[in-house]
Amino acid sequence: MPQPDSDTPQQPDARAFDGVSHGYAPDGRPVAPAPVPLEKIVGDVVDNLSATAKAELALLEARGELALHGASWTASWGAIAASALGVAMLALAFGAILVLAPHVGPLLATLIVVAVLLLIAAFAGWRARRSYGDIRTALRRDLTNEEPDD
């Protein structure tokens, strides 16, 4: 049997597709689908809006949980850091007293170290008060009110 020439298209069987349209309509125009009732469209829109609102609330709740988790761990690690800083400041104060005591005496050495620590505490308190003022300004309801907060 001779091989068919590959350049000539093969004739498809007339019933091979059984009336299925592949980009053309051999049996005429397809029947248009029935129109969707307006009540169904409105119901679908309401369902979609409801699902969207529920998803937004779930997202807000998840973000709140994440913020709470982060705040609690921040507070925990901050407490550990503050404790370590307090111990380090005590060690520094005792060391400074021990170094100064042979030169100026134990009482004057203690007074010098206390005065320096009080100056550091006053500076840190002043900076904290300024930062607290920024927080109060940011959270104020009426930002045009230029009077200081009570």
DSSP letters for 73-134: HHHHHHHHHHHHHHHHHHHHHHHHHHHHHHHH-HHHHHHHHHHHHHHHHHHHHHHHHHHHHH
In terms of Cβ atoms closer than 10 Å to its own Cβ (0-12, 13-18, 19+), residue 93 is middle
64-92, pLDDT tens digit by residue? 888 888 889 999 999 999 999 999 999 99
What's the confidence (pLDDT) of residue 113? 92
Q: Which two tokens stand for residue 117?
A: 């620590």
Q: What is the pTM of this model?
A: 0.46
d(C-alpha 39, C-alpha 46), whole Å: 10
Where along the chain do its domains lie? 38-139
What's the confidence (pLDDT) of residue 7? 62
For residue 22, is pLDDT > 60?
Answer: no
